[in-house]
Amino acid sequence: MATDQRAKADTLSLRQRLLSSSCRLFFPEDPVKIVRGQGQYLYDEQGGEYIDCINNVAHVGHCHPLVVQAAHEQNQVLNTNSRYLHDNIVDYAQRLSETLPEKLCVFYFLNSGSEANDLALRLARQYTGHQDVVVLDHAYHGHLSSLIDISPYKFRYLDGQKEWVHVAPLPDTYRGPYREDHPNPAVAYANEVKRVVSNAQEKGRKIAAFFMESLPSVGGQIIPPAGYFSQVAEHIHRAGGVFVADEIQVGFGRVGKHFWAFQLQGEDFVPDIVTMGKSIGNGHPIACVATTQAVSRAFEATGVEYFNTFGGSPVSCAVGLAVLDVLEKEQLQAHATCVGSFLMELLRQQKAKHPIIGDVRGVGLFIGVDLVQDEATRMPATQEADYVITRLKENYILLSADGPGRNILKFKPPMCFSLDNAQLVVTKLDAILTDMEEKVRSCETLRLQPCSVKHPPGSTGPGCRAAAGSRPS
């Protein structure tokens, strides 16, 4: 590691010259140069300490010493591919199997979540003999070409929807067609999947799989209604397809109550394929697919080998085992329940205080704060969300916004995020929202007399709903 660091401006200049502009930065108008991480904190080149509320990859904390040690020790002995016998890969597969329902007992190891979802698609197609996929609106499942095709979050800005892809409504009880006042939103949203499947079948299409993040993240930190998965699985299985649970962002105890987010739907529900990534290696490139014997045997029947050069290497599996050890020893699943519940309660108090907060939803350390221009229409407060995360960054708190309207503040910090961190973050959020509201009230007519609040060009000012009028999300 270089002892003499470049000036931030020089680093930015080199990046702009050498990297594609499509490789975007957080806070592009004033990016942060991060040189070190520890636990739930990131440090810039000046020594500034930031609370990291974004990083669900450094699952048990940035540079956790036990994880770093496991990688280092195994690297000193051996790192090769999985065509040789080695204890680490079978030990790791056995440890993972203990966290999953019994029928999910066959494992494939890879490098990234995108690779995992691509393999899941191959497994589903080989097992069913079908080609088509049902996904949820606004879903994202990876950056490979095969996954861009099943990610409305991406394909709507590219080549559009393929004929073999079918999109069902996101089971969003705050913004979707069936909301919190519906008597049975789980059945209503599952029937939408049934309708999509029926329409596809009428066109002669055959369903291979239903892909779903167990808790849709880029779709807006959505918590599906209980019972939705089992109802959907029934419709998909009847059509000859399989249910793929994408746990890449939300698995490994993040939801607190359970090790896997799909378990929130009840003990009776078991997906046919589970994909893992990001948190599985705490920053080391590891991913995994778990499936049933039946699905695996259909894949094996082709006679074509599945091989991944680095997937399942001794170092990767040593890291994976260390992550599981830390989760258990530091009781991070229970910690996520405790801190997440505390954070949710603090945020609900802010919702009662600030009308811009339309909804607070989440479980464990997976939480979304939905900012709205108007409580009745629930119009996304997009510019306001951007303003809030910029102001939080100035207060040394890193948070991101996502969702179809880019208005959902997303909390998915490392699992060691503390009660004190939660209190500080919400205190700063409260101050920023209060400041916004004071400045809005100081403007008689926003269009004629802009507030002193800094906001992106074209915005009418944060928090200004009635005076500013509505704008497209």
98-136 pLDDT, tens digit per residue, is 999 999 999 999 999 999 999 999 999 999 999 999 999
Residues 6+ positions from 432 with CB-CB distance below 8 Å:
388, 391, 392, 395
Q: What is the rounded CA–CA span in Å between residue 195 and residue 291?
A: 27
Q: What is the rounded CA–CA span in Å between residue 354 and residue 440?
A: 13
Q: At what angle do helices 314-329 and 65-75 cross, to 10 degrees?
A: 160
Residue of 199, 186, 293 whose CA lies nearest to 231: 186
Give yes or no for residue 278 having a pLDDT over 50.
yes
Hey, what are 253's tokens?
């105890």
Mean per-residue pLDDT for 71-100? 97
Look-up of token digits 């962002």: 249
Classify strands 357-363 and 106-110 as parallel, antiparallel or unpaired: unpaired
Give yes or no for residue 39 having a pLDDT over 70.
yes
Lowest mean pLDDT among 81-90, 101-110, 258-267, 462-471: 462-471
Return mean pLDDT, the chain. Answer: 92
The residue count for the chain: 473
- Whole-number pLDDT of residue 454: 43
Residue of 181, 179, 207 whose CA lies nearest to 193: 207
Q: At what angle do helices 332-353 and 419-441 cross, to 10 degrees?
A: 20
Where b means 16+ CB within 10 Å and e means fewer, 254-279 reads: bbbebbbbbbbbeeebbbbbbbbbbb
Hey, what are 16's tokens?
């702009």
What is the spatial order of strands in the sheet that 287-291 belongs to? 106-110, 287-291, 273-276, 242-246, 207-213, 132-136, 165-168
> What torsion do the CA atoms of 86, 88, 93, 99 make, to the nearest 10 degrees?
160
Give yes or no for residue 446 having a pLDDT over 80.
no
111 and 286 Cβ atoms separated by less than 8 Å: yes
Q: 5: pLDDT confidence band, cut at 50, 70 and 90? A: confident
- Return the percentage of the chain with pLDDT > 70, whole number: 92
- Whole-number pLDDT of residue 438: 87
Name the residue with higher pLDDT: 237 or 2.
237
Q: 444: pLDDT confidence band, cut at 50, 70 and 90? A: very low
Mean per-residue pLDDT for 39-52? 97
Hey, what are 245's tokens?
């649970």
- Whole-number pLDDT of residue 442: 64
pLDDT in tens, 212-254: 999 999 999 999 999 999 999 999 999 999 999 999 999 999 9
153 and 139 Cβ atoms separated by less than 8 Å: yes
- Whole-number pLDDT of residue 443: 55
- Residue 24 exposed, middle or buried by CB count within 10 Å (0-12, 13-18, 19+): exposed
Backbone region of residue 278 per phi and psi (left: phi > 0; alpha: psi in -120 to 50; beta: other values): left
Domains parsed from the chain with CATH numbers: 65-329 (3.40.640.10), 332-441 (3.90.1150.10)
- Whole-number pLDDT of residue 4: 63
Look-up of token digits 């049934």: 194
Hey, what are 332's tokens?
């991070």
Give yes or no for residue 357 having a pLDDT over 90.
yes
Residues 6+ positions from 25 with CB-CB distance below 8 Å:
15, 31
Give yes or no for residue 452 having a pLDDT over 90.
no
Quick count: other Cβ atoms within 10 Å of Cβ 182? Answer: 15
Q: What is the rounded CA–CA span in Å between residue 434 and residue 429?
A: 8
Lowest mean pLDDT among 409-413, 427-431, 464-468: 464-468
425 and 51 Cβ atoms separated by less than 8 Å: yes
Give yes or no for residue 471 having a pLDDT over 50.
no
Q: What's the farthest any 2 CA atoms get from each other in the chain?
A: 74
Give yes or no for residue 462 having a pLDDT over 60.
no
Give yes or no for residue 150 having a pLDDT over 60.
yes
pLDDT in tens, 262-272: 999 999 999 99
Helix (H) or strand (E) holding 202: helix 185-202
